[in-house]
Structure formats: structure tokens, C-alpha cells
Amino acid sequence: MPAPLTACLAFDTATEHLSIALRLGDRVWSHEAAGGALASSTLIPGVMDLLAQAGIGLRDLDAIAFGRGPGAFTGLRTACSVAQGLALGAGKPVLPIDTLLAVAEDARSMSGAGELDDIWVAMDARMDEIYAAHAVCEAGAWRLAAAPWLCTPQQLNDAWQACAPRAVAGTALAAFGDRLACGEALRLPQALPRARAMLPLAATLWAQGGAVDAAQALPLYLRDKVAQTMAERAAAKASAASAAPAVSA
């Protein structure tokens, strides 16, 4: 078993929210800001600012953790590429963290209920779809009882018919409202994949030997139709234009 993880940098850009955290021993520094298109230009300055506050450099870290997804395509590429670049330059391993597990941990911490150990995560995936997963915490460690999947609100409701949720966390609660049949479940719509929540997940993954070489760190994509969808939209636009009646001069 490796020595305990005592110096770890973590960040996530899978959503419209940028989150960075740094743990050094018992102290934690964090930075929260707008993400999305801004993340690619503000992530590295944010990382360097936290390192400066802690008075350490990248080579003083044990590992670098990043939110691997699922989430926004550009955001996942940003987090993965920055983690790889920083880790390669410092000669450090990488810890790819499941974004939806980070949401579950964030929900548990914000609820103030330490016994909250069974959570369905539902994040708005746009295009009328949801990134969902069922997370269960056992002996202080989260595991996925249902792996992350891309679904429609109705498909998630169907899953809940077979397994009624005790708690639901994530942005899909606000995005889809009454279309999600959560029943009496505790609702935590403000939960996000915050980097502070990633730190305990990183420690667990580290203890399990889950650190990987930077070159092996990969994002988790659930939507493989991004390019196709853009092509479909372009085709539909062209089709509509050709079908439009001609206007006489």
C-alpha cells in the first residue's frame, strides 16, 4: 500500500463551474469561479495561485487529480490536458476522478448529514439528456452501484421505478423540474463536482493504487454523437432552406 496522500492538487471543469483545490497535510486551499469557455484560460493561473498561497511547487505534490467526466466535451478535454501537462512536467502521477462521484461527495458534505450514503446523481447534459449514476458509500468509500450513463428524463424515471431514490443530487433537478419523478427523495440541486469533494475521493483512489502515468489519463465521454449532432443540425438547416418557398422579386 502506498504512503498516505498528503499533498494533492485537484480540479474539475466538467460543468459551467470551475473548481480547484489543494491539500497539503491538514490544510486545504480552494478556488471557485465561472467555467465553461473561460476554463481553458483561467485554470492554470488558478492552480498557480493556490500553489503560491500554500508556498509549494508542483514537484512538492504527491499527485494531481482531475475530474474525468462525464461532462461537457471541451471541459473534459481541458481538465485532462492540463492534468497531463502539469503531471508530465513535474514527474507526478495522475488520479482520474469520476465527476459524478464528486457530485455525490459534495452533496453529502453540503447536506450536513454524514449518514447520507445512498445518492442518485443527475447532472444536466443539455440536449434534453442527463448524466446519471447511483452512488453508494460503504466504509467511508464511494462506489458506483449504477455506472454513469447518458439518459433521457423518462429513462431515469423508469430506472427509479425499480430503485426509488433516497436522495438525488445535481443540476438536472433544476433543469428538468417536475419531469423528474423523485418522489420523497431528498433533493440537492446545488451539488456540483467541486474540487474540495474530489480530495477524499483522490485519497481513496491513491490508497487503492489507482494513480496512473500522465500519458494514461483519459476523460470519460458518454456522448459520442457531438460531431454527428452538429452535422445533423447543418443538414436539417440546409434541408429547411431548400424546402422554403421561393420569394418573387
Can you state the angle between helices 195-207 and 99-111, rounded to 10 degrees? 120
Nearest 5°: phi and psi at 230? -65, -40
The bridge status of strand 118-124 relative to strand 27-34 is unpaired
Please state the CATH superfamily assignment of the domain spanning residues 7-98+193-224 in this structure: ATPase, nucleotide binding domain (3.30.420.40)
Rounded Cα–Cα distance for residues 74 and 7 (Å): 28
Q: Judging by beta carbons within 10 Å of its beta carbon (0-12, 13-18, 19+), is residue 168 exposed, middle or buried?
A: buried
Q: Where residue 53 falls among pLDDT bands split at 50, 70, 90? A: very high
Rounded Cα–Cα distance for residues 239 and 96 (Å): 42
Give the CA angle between residues 101, 10, 122 to the nearest 5°. Answer: 25
The three cell numbers locating residue 134: 447511483
Say what the pLDDT of residue 2 is. 79
Nearest 5°: phi and psi at 149? -145, 155
Q: What is the pTM of this model?
A: 0.87
Instruction: Considering the chain, tell me which residue range(s) the CATH 3.30.420.40 domain(s) occupy.
Output: 7-98+193-224, 100-188
**Mean pLDDT for the chain?**
89
Q: What's the topology of domain 100-188?
A: Nucleotidyltransferase; domain 5 (3.30.420)
127-182 pLDDT, tens digit each? 999 999 999 999 889 999 989 999 999 999 999 998 899 999 999 999 999 999 99
| Bridge partner list, 27 | 24
| Bridge partner list, 9 | 22, 64
